[in-house]
Structure 1
């Protein structure tokens, strides 16, 4: 039932005690400007809510709600509280001024949907895997459009990326049975978010998990791209679990979580322990175990390059975040000073 479990029941009971009134559990299924939609747990009905008016829930640490959140609705159907989050998935913006952008909450697995045609991007897969590690959720991989490549090529790609993810699958529009391993891997209480570039086949996969045929989506012969486009995040319940389909992501910045990047590139992290210097940059320092592994052919130079680029991006994200925080503090200090001067002038005027 939408991923509801005894844990959420406990959180709701605490929220009801604090609110001193009964609350109805609902899961946020979509967010749009000024409001959104949620599915009520006990009835399955979809209802809308407004985020644009003042409400006590605005004081919550987890406000505003995001897709995947569990909320407690009051008697009027308004959001009275947002239950504590188990996981929180977000990504860094690609522009210099962008803040972290929420994707979803309370997700069990990040399903990276990558087409086999055109050729899959290992770098994009690595970046999504790092996002999953940063959120503390399981990374999965689904390679779509296996019917457009040779079976041997599909197996080769699976073998190349298998170490990156907890589960990997290849599905074919021409073989309905290719979806069986994925369906069997999902439990009814699982919530999965599908991510990938536009045209990867996320919506086709969602429809297939809803019970529609994989072959229902038309595919253009030239580039292998499907014809439908997801324009917003939408949570849907399927017989195999809860699926969140997301719009295609054109550019994916590295997560600012350096530990998550290190976890993604575990082989490099393990090798780094053998470097002579603890602060080795793996460039030209003597005794660098990573450079030695590259020279011996034990480590792909391209993988090292992707790792270094992601770590450099992560550092820039941290610097930008610190700069934004500093500017915000300065603006607040300026407002406080202005308010203080006005109050002082008002008191001075009253004394005259």
Structure 2
């Protein structure tokens, strides 16, 4: 649920056309050169009540390896160096590294996925910010995978593991490590819909605050529910158990209605509606415990071979709890975000994206209120 505030709309609007590769290593592996040249007008760069604005120029050169398009094993590996240059706050200028590897294997009877990424981040979000004039620098490493195997003609079992570690470069923020192991059983109810029973174990280690263990049991379904409606829905119970923390009082276990849903509705061959709901525990960058209810929706349309547009909105109810006990609620935040964007495909190598993002956080604490709007324009290259 935690996203950076880079020019993400362009990725959502990218068409599926392939550019000719910069270098073909073999019949099944190709190297592409990628890059973004963009400008952002941000009226609240720190996401604080006392807004400060700036214009930021982004230059993000990169390289991408694509392999196995026609094979059972497929994947990509990308490396990007991102340069952000602030017109008025030059002390915030940065160059950051990121890399991501994704692979998938499918032989018809078993399928597996693997992911690994490392991102240097210097952007604030509703969860990662301070009351002062600072961008919160951190490194995020993630690795995981999942395998699903057919155990009968109509059933399969999936087992996964995911680890995410966040290391903050600023004093007062809580490094974290989160490990998750989901186990799911799927049973084919119709040729296009599987019923699902899932157990998820999650353990969180925080530098500041309470470590915790989560147990979640959900029932749900996945697949093509109608000719136009596809996705997955899971509903169940999630329990968070807190580990005793020296110097802090013990916390009682907490339980909530766990929800994880993501659905897509094809309005037409070129237009799609996407929507979902989630409800889960979490902790913010300073180690404060949360429970989050998120409702999101978006519409994506390829209105022509050259033009595509996106409109999206989300609402998030964030309940924070005081470190002194989960019965004492520290505050409740209502966070809303909307975006609208359009992409023009110049050719198979170049796309131009313009976007407007609006964000607003209303909190029981005045120091946590903020409004933010970002207008961006970017040229995205891949050849």
Higher percent of residues as strand = 2
Q: Over alpha carbons, which structure has the higher Rg?
A: 1
The TM-score normalised by the length of structure 1 is 0.25
